[in-house]
Amino acid sequence: MTVTHAPVKAPTTARRPKNKWVREHLLPLLISALFIVPIVFVFYWMVSMSFQTQVEISSNPPTFWPKAPTTEWYSELMRRMPFLRYTWNSLVVGVLATGIGLAIGVPAAYAIARWRIGGLGTLFLITRITPAISFLIPWYIIAKRLNLSDSLGIITLLHITITLPLIIWIMIGFFEALPTDLEQSATVDGCNAWQSFLLISVPLVKPGIVAATILAFIQSWNNFLFAAVLGGPESQTLPVTVYGMLSFEQANWGPLAAAATLVCLPVIIGTIFFQRQLVEGLTAGALKG
C-alpha cells in the first residue's frame, strides 16, 4: 500500500480541491487498477484468442488485437461436435440440480433456522467439506454395476451434492434474520407450519432465494469432475467439452479459446445482471456459515 504523507504546511486553499480529488478518486482508482487489470486481461486474452487466425495465435510476439477477426473457431466447434447438445446437457443438469436443491434445501434451511436444529446444520456443513472424489469412487462403481454411466440422471444427482449444501447454508442466514412476529400471528389465525412457511416466510426471503439459485446454478454449470468421470458421449457437459479441446490438439488453441469463451459467457452475463444478488449470496453463505 502506498501511504502518501501529508505535507507539513497546510496547502493553499486554491490547491485543496484538486488534492482532495487526487486522494479520493485518482489514487484509489489507480491502486484498484493494479488488481483489476490482471483480472480483465485473462478474459480479454481468452476472447481475443478465440477471434484470431491460426497464424496470429501462434505468432511471436503474441497478437493482442486480431487484425481480421475470424469466427472460424466458433463454426468449427459447432460443425465438429454436437456442441449445442453439450450446452443443453449442462443446462438440464444445472436447472434440475438447482431446482431439486431448492425444493428440498429451502424447507430444510427453514427448519434448521426456525427450530434451531444445530446438529443438522453441521451435517450439511460436513457435506460441503467432504472432497467430491471421496463419494465419487463409490458412485462410479454403482454406475458401472447398474449400467447407469453416461446418464444425465446420475450426473444431476451428484450435482445436487454441490447445490444442496450451498442453498441450505445461504438460506439459513436469511431465515435467521427474519422476524417471527408475522408467522406467530399467522399461527394464531390458524395457519399450520407449512402454510406459514410457504405463505409468510418464503415470500419474505425471496432475495435470498434468488441469490441461492444463481450461485447454485453457477456452481453446477462450472463443475467438471462428476461429468468427467461419470459422463460419456451422450451426457457430456460443457466443462468436459472444453477440457477435451486441449487434449485433442496440442497447439490448436483457437477452438479451445472459443469453447472456453462460450462456457464462461452465460455466467459472466449473469454476473453483470445479478451482481447484487450474487454478492449477497456469496457473503451470506460464507459469513453466516
CB of 98 to another protein, least distance (A): 14
CB of 130 to another protein, least distance (A): 6
CB of 244 to another protein, least distance (A): 10
CB of 189 to another protein, least distance (A): 17
CA–CA separation, 182 and 201 (whole Å): 9
- By C-beta, is 84 or 142 nearer to another protein? 142
Q: Are 218 and 270 in contact (CB under 8 A)?
A: yes
- Rg value, the chain, Cα: 25
Number of residues that bind another protein (CB under 8 A): 99
| The only residue of 82, 107, 151, 191 in contact with another protein, by rule CB under 8 A | 107
| The only residue of 20, 43, 153, 199 in contact with another protein, by rule CB under 8 A | 43
* Near another protein in 222-261, by CB under 8 A: 222, 224-225, 229, 238-239, 242-243, 245-246, 253, 256-257, 259-261
> Among 9-17, 73-81, 157-165, 201-209, which window interacts with another protein (CB under 8 A)?
157-165
C-alpha separations of 51 from 71, 148, 258, 263 in Å: 6, 39, 8, 16
Question: In degrees to the nearest 10, what's the CA dihedral of 242, 247, 250, 254?
Answer: -20
* Near another protein in 50-69, by CB under 8 A: 58-62
> Among 11-19, 69-77, 103-111, 203-211, which window interacts with another protein (CB under 8 A)?
103-111
* Near another protein in 108-137, by CB under 8 A: 108, 110-112, 114-115, 117, 120, 123-124, 126-135, 137
CB of 269 to another protein, least distance (A): 10
**Contact mark string toward another protein, 176..215, x via CB under 8 A:** ----x---x--------xx--x------------------
* Near another protein in 67-96, by CB under 8 A: none
| The only residue of 152, 212, 264, 277 in contact with another protein, by rule CB under 8 A | 264
> Among 70-78, 80-88, 201-209, 266-274, which window interacts with another protein (CB under 8 A)?
266-274
CB of 81 to another protein, least distance (A): 16
* Near another protein in 19-38, by CB under 8 A: 24-26, 28-29, 31-33, 35-36, 38
DSSP-assigned letters across all residues of the chain: ---PPPPSSPPPTTTHHHHHHIIIIIHHHHHHHHHHHHHHHHHHHHHHHHTS-HHHHT-SSPPSS-SS---HHHHHHHHHS-HHHHHHHHHHHHHHHHHHHHHHHHHHHHHHHHTT-HHHHHHHHHHHHS-HHHHHHHHHHHHHHTT-TT-HHHHHHHHHHHHHHHHHHHHHHHHHTS-SHHHHHHHHTT--HHHIIIIIIHHHTHHHHHHHHHHHHHHHHH--HHHHHH--TTT--HHHHHHHHHHH-SS-HHHHHHHHHHHHHHHHHHHHHSHHHHHHHHHHHHHT-
